[in-house]
């Protein structure tokens, strides 16, 4: 069956590149993937694949911009089902110019590879459908909206019950990885990617003329103290060896060279792997910020938006997936991945069913743009990796159906 899948996807490779470039040229932000999902659904229905669209509703009145497709093997009757997942959304990033297939939407770009993820699941599903007489069971293709934005499309699909009929025995996800050379596949069993929470902090003081600091309650200085003091939680309160990150990426003090503003707004992220410690931090961070601000005569609003949990890869499923990868690319090209502080809403799936996650190497030093980090304006992939990624997804699903 491996040879049949490899042949079918190799024949699809020109189509994979075409699909990926179309999606890359027409990116859409989280929960606005209307045309993206329409394009995916069109390709599936033209193949005669059963599709349910309109899933992943952000609100009861909003249109769902996700889709679930069922690819059914016909060799014999089987109630087994396994899911493979893709994410549809792009990022609010302005892409570098000069690419024939560059984004046509100002300020929006597929800088995280979701165009490739969608293409590979689409390719895997179509290849499996064309070979349906050779296998049994059901492969569920999951095309979810809003991976990049809370509350996360994965959580919405779970709440909507899309995995109840049929009920998958597990789910496989994949992510392009520019730091891995093309042709390599990476795995990690157990905790893999961090839980992620968003922090929104407003320090309120009393602004005025910068030349009269004694008359002010300077929120800029106080906010700086808050940032530095909160970092002490990482270094002094966190247990050594327990991974966590606390970072602020946005600070707005909208004054001037000679004007101190009344308030400073800050936004940041908290990344953890330990749920009890995460819960403790949700109380500790606001309490420490409040103490610092009140001690300086200021006040603070501190909001934590709880995001996706830890991605936990099922050890047994990961072992089986890794064996497939070794057969595909050889043991030297299958690598162990470190813990990653990046977050993935694929995590929600791994808390309700066994989940496996593959890191697909897409970097090629001969093509410098493919070695750029994720979420960067110059990000791109080596499209030769699409074939391997689609093959891995298809074979991962089939292997679970034949257990």
Catalytic position from the list 53, 115, 147, 400: 147
| Greatest alpha-carbon span in the chain | 83
Q: Which residues pair with 312 in a beta bridge?
A: 191
Are 335 and 186 contacting, i.e. CB atoms less than 8 angstroms apart? yes
Give the helix/strand (H/E) hosting 37: helix 34-46
Is 89 annotated as catalytic?
yes
Q: Where are the alpha helices (DSSP H) in 250-365?
A: 275-295, 315-329, 347-350
Residue 290: phi, psi to the nearest 5?
A: -65, -45
CA distance 67 to 64: 8
User: Residue 388 contacts by C-beta under 8 Å, 6 or more apart in sequence?
Assistant: 182, 183, 185, 328, 329, 360
Alpha-carbon distance of 401 to 298, in angstroms, equals 60
- Tokens representing 285? 């961070």
Q: How many CA atoms lie within 13 A of 10 on its CB side?
A: 6
Give the count of beta carbons closer than 10 Å to the beta carbon of residue 201: 24
How crowded is residue 332: how many other Cβ atoms within 10 Å of its Cβ? 9
CA-to-CA distance for 373 and 257, rounded, in angstroms? 35
C-alpha distance from residue 131 to each of 128, 136, 274 (Å): 5, 10, 43
Instruction: Identify which of 148, 310, 332 has the alpha carbon closest to the alpha carbon of residue 243.
Output: 310
Q: Residues near 282 by Cβ (< 8 Å), separated by ≥ 6? A: 197, 304, 306
Q: Is 147 assigned a catalytic role?
A: yes
Structure tokens of 329?
């690319």
Which secondary structure element, helix H or strand E, spans residue 336, and what is its range? strand 334-336
- Here the tokens at position 163 are 């995995």
Q: Which element (helix H / strand E) includes 303?
A: strand 299-306
CA distance 165 to 144: 17
| Catalytic hit among 28, 33, 53, 89 | 89
Residue 80: count other Cβ atoms within 10 Å of its Cβ.
16
Active site residues: 89, 147
């Amino acid at each position: 069956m491996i040879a049949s899948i490899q042949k079918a996807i190799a024949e699809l490779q020109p189509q994979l590149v075409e699909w990926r470039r179309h999606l890359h040229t027409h990116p859409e932000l989280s929960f606005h993937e209307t045309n993206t999902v329409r394009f995916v659904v069109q390709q599936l229905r033209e193949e005669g694949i059963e599709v349910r669209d309109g899933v992943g509703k952000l609100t009861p009145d909003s249109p769902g911009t996700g889709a679930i497709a069922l690819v059914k093997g016909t060799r014999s009757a089987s109630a087994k089902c396994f899911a493979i997942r893709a994410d549809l959304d792009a990022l609010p990033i302005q892409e570098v110019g000069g690419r024939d297939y560059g984004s046509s939407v100002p300020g929006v770009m597929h800088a995280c590879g979701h165009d490739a993820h969608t293409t590979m699941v689409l390719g895997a599903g179509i290849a499996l459908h064309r070979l349906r007489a050779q296998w049994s069971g059901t492969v569920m293709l999951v095309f979810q909206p809003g991976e990049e934005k809370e509350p996360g499309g994965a959580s919405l699909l779970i709440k909507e019950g899309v995995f109840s009929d049929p009920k998958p025995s597990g789910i496989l996800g994949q992510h392009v990885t520019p730091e891995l050379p093309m042709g390599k596949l990476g795995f990690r069993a157990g905790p893999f990617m961090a839980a992620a929470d968003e922090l929104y902090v407003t320090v309120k003081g009393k602004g005025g003329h910068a030349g009269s600091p004694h008359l002010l309650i300077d929120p800029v200085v106080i906010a700086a103290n808050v940032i530095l003091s909160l970092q002490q939680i990482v270094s002094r309160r966190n247990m050594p060896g327990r991974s966590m990150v606390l970072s602020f990426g946005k600070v707005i003090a909208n004054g001037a060279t000679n004007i101190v503003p009344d308030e400073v707004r800050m936004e940041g992220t908290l990344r953890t792997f330990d749920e009890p410690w995460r819960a403790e931090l949700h109380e500790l961070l606001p309490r420490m910020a409040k103490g610092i601000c009140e001690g300086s005569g200021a006040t603070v609003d501190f909001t934590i938006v709880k995001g996706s949990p830890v991605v936990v890869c099922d050890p047994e499923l990961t072992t089986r997936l890794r064996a497939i990868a070794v057969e595909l690319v050889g043991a030297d090209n299958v690598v162990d991945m470190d813990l990653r502080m990046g977050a993935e809403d694929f995590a929600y799936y791994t808390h309700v069913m066994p989940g496996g996650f593959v890191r697909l190497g897409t970097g090629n030093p001969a093509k410098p743009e493919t070695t750029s980090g994720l979420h960067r304006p110059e990000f791109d992939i080596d499209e030769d990796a699409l074939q391997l990624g689609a093959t891995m997804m298809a074979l991962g699903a089939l292997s679970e159906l034949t257990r």
